Structure 1
Amino acid sequence: MEHAKIADTPVELGRLGFGASVIGNLYRVTPADEARAAVETAWESGIRYFDTAPHYGLGLSERRLGGALRGLPRDSYVISSKVGRLLVANDRPRGMDDEGFVVRDDLRRQWDFSRDGVLRSLEATLERTGLDRLDVVYLHDPDDHWRQAAEEAVPALAELRDQGVIGAIGAGMNQSAMLARFLRETAVDLVMLAGRYTLLDQSALDDVLPAARELGKAVVAVGVFNSGLLSRDHPAEGMKYDYQDAPPDLVARARAIAEVCTAHGTSLPAAAMAFPRTHPSIINVTLGMRNPEQVRRNVALHGQVIPDALWDDLRAQGLIRSDVPDGGAGRKGSRCL
């Protein structure tokens, strides 16, 4: 797989990453053998970047991902996890988690971006994964915790990075404005941008992407299907956009984009995966993959060559912003596997 280096760090990311939220039972149960097979299929397909977090399934994702990777050559893959939500004993369990994961709620999440919280979170993650180190660590959704995240968590992570304990540090969020602040005002190396540079939302062009390009820092794109609306060849009513039912105007826009994709001999999901790579600062697209079938589908979509004329037509029809860069994803960025 083609790789891109995170500037000023030893870390390189493949162009396609495995997002492990779904193997933490996001929205529905994923059997343990299916989750393991998904990771193994990703490995066999050439994927070498794997992302997880304590939040995903109250630690289940970390346990499953670590178990599946254990035994593979440690220097041959990159793994990232996150800090900001400590997992602590739940003294008032109701039976099941209420934050989207189908797991028992014997544990609960506790926001903590303090230095101590960061160190405790990392120690717990290493215990759950059974691995000896993390390559990348992100602050996870620090939207309401800017001051503590910027003044305590980032310096703690930067110290570990400078000691060689962690390879690179970043922040991951569903908004782009604060990610731009992290790039400009703190010592992070990269950001994980969720849903704000897609075929339906290019708002990151107003803040975080210019900051990344100016500073030479990297961006990992996630949520490129905007919770599902861009994941099928033919978008339909009732599909999700940003975790909610998609409004009719966005469904209509997604259908219009799909028609242009068909006219250029490709599909909406293939274009949705390729689109973030039109920006030079985006070095990786990471997708949630629940089972081997999803892995194989995503790898095949990722390998398609998207004609540059598609982006020209989408701009001309006002379906994407006129300031979206040409990128050349169809020539260079799509055949990575």
Structure 2
Amino acid sequence: MFQKRRIGRTDLEVTTLGLGGASLAGIFRKVPDEDARATVQHALDRGITYFDTAPQYGYGRSEHLMGDALRFKREGTVLSTKVGRRLKPVASEAVREYPHNWADPLPFEQVYDYSYDGVMRSFEDSLQRLGLASVDILYVHDIGVMTHGAVVNRGYWQQLVDGGYRALTELKASGKVKAIGLGVNEWEVLMDAFALGDWDVFLLAGRYTLLEQTALSPFMTTCLERGASVVVGGPFNSGILVGGSTWNYAKAPEEIMARVRRIEAVCERFNVPLPAAALQFPLTHPAVCNVLPGPRTPAELDGILDWWNAPIPDELWTALAREGIVAKGTPLPNGGVA
């Protein structure tokens, strides 16, 4: 069984390992619907109770599949989805406005909307796609320079300031959701979010991993001060820490590949699989409540569980710190600090 950790100052608790729903929707390559549903069921069978999805994932496909698998098994589970993108139907792939990496998306296109009405409408639409009466956590999805660019993002951020944040707080106050946060790929926008108001949890992908700890300060330290939790998404940095060449959803530059080779060399010295070290590393930080990989099949999930439970000698973490591979001040799984 997995340990559980509390979400911020809420009453919600999540297992320290979760299941992300992006890969299930077929990012980069198609995933048969039956495999996706079986993966969610397998996670439940193995004791995982935190599941995350979003309208963007397969343009509705992930929410449909996640809802199918969880519809009659919600007791004891925690489910999150996201707002910021509404979906509109498209006649064909040829008329899409935005490029995407979904192998077999549903015939919908994303419409960015972080306004009060946009948040409320997105929430209701998600419940319908899921076929569920509620979700537990609602994240603002991909609001930031990485997604929109600096100029465009200012307008979307203003939508959140003018009404989107109020919609989230109303949904939480009404009990329709139990926690609110942001789900993004850059920690800097989360510092802006702290200036806007109070949040329970942030899903941060790729910025606090064995490969990079850019979020360590001031973001993670501020989370501790403000009582906000962190879900670590993308613990394998888009696949580069499991033998791939993709980082930040694109081909990794040479400097990133070189850094991975340094980490891999230390892991080989101690006969530890690199993915095992990558998966176990983030949870040591006291702000982190959950690590969220995205397996496509039950077999992939079993591989992740093997890495999760793999024994790692304390000396490996000491070596990573001594060689300057992890940032100074990083908490280490052996109880030390880099």
Same fold (TM over 0.5): yes
For 1:200 and 1:59, the matched residues in 2 are separated by 31
Could you say which residue in structure 2 is the equivalent of 1:255?
261
The residue identity in structure 1 corresponding to 2:75 is D
State the alpha-carbon separation in 1 of the partners of residues 218 and 121 from structure 2: 32
Aligned: 1:207 with 2:218: yes
Structure 2 partner of 1:90: 90
Is residue 193 from structure 1 mapped to residue 194 from structure 2 by the alignment?
Answer: no
In the TM superposition, what is the alpha-carbon distance from 1:116 to its structure 2 partner?
Answer: 0.8
User: For 2:296, what is the secondary structure of its paired residue?
Assistant: coil
Cα offsets for 1:27-66 (capped at 9, x unmatched): 1111111111111111111110000000001100000010
Aligned: 1:324 with 2:324: no
Could you state the TM-score of these two structures normalised by the residue count of structure 2?
0.91
| Alignment RMSD | 1.9
Provide Cα deviations, 1:168-223, integer angstroms capped at 9, x if missing partner.
00001110111122234322111111101112211101332111012121000011
For residues 220 and 321 of structure 2, the distance between their equivalents in structure 1, rounded to whole angstroms, comes to 18
Rate the CA distance shift 1:77–1:105 in 2: closer, same or farther, 3 A: closer
Q: Which segments of 5 or more consecutive residues in structure 1 lack a partner in the other structure?
A: 331-337
In the TM superposition, 1:117-266 aligns within 5 A as: 117-143=118-144, 144=153, 145-232=156-243, 239-266=245-272
> 1:274–1:306: 8 Å Cα contact kept in structure 2?
no
User: What is the alpha-carbon distance in structure 2 between the residues aligned to residue 4 and residue 185 of structure 1?
Assistant: 26
Which residue of structure 2 lines up, in the alignment, with residue 44 of structure 1? 45
Report % sequence identity.
38
Q: How far has the Cα of 1:307 moved from its partner? A: 3.1
The question of whether the paired residues in 2 share the 8 Å contact of 1:90 and 1:105 is answered with no
1:154 & 1:49 partners in 2: Cα distance? Answer: 24
Contact 1:136 / 1:167 at 8 angstroms: preserved in 2?
yes
CA distance in 2, matches of 1:200, 1:104: 30
Offset of 1:278 from its aligned partner? 2.2
The Cα offsets for residues 94-128 of structure 1, whole Å up to 9 and x where unpaired, read as 17883111235632110101111111111111111
Q: Aligned partners of 2:272, 2:194: CA distance in 1, in Å?
A: 35
Please say if residues 276 and 308 of structure 2, whose CA atoms lie closer than 8 Å, have aligned partners that are also in contact.
Answer: yes
CA distance in 2, matches of 1:252, 1:62: 37
**TM-score between the two structures when normalised by the length of structure 1:** 0.91
Cα deviation digits, residues 246-287 of structure 1 (max 9, x gap): 222322221221121222342110111111112110110001
Structure 2, unaligned stretches of length 5 or more? 145-152
Q: CA deviation at 1:323?
A: 1.7
Provide the rounded CA distance (Å) in 1 between the counterparts of 2:180 and 2:130: 19
CA contact (8 A) 2:35 2:298 kept: yes
Q: Distance in 2 between matches of 1:100 and 1:310?
A: 36
Contact 2:281 2:332 in 1 (8 A): no
* 1:98–1:310 Cα change, 3 Å: same
Q: How many residues align?
A: 324
Q: Deviations over 1:3-34 (max 9, x none)?
A: 00113212111100101111112111111111
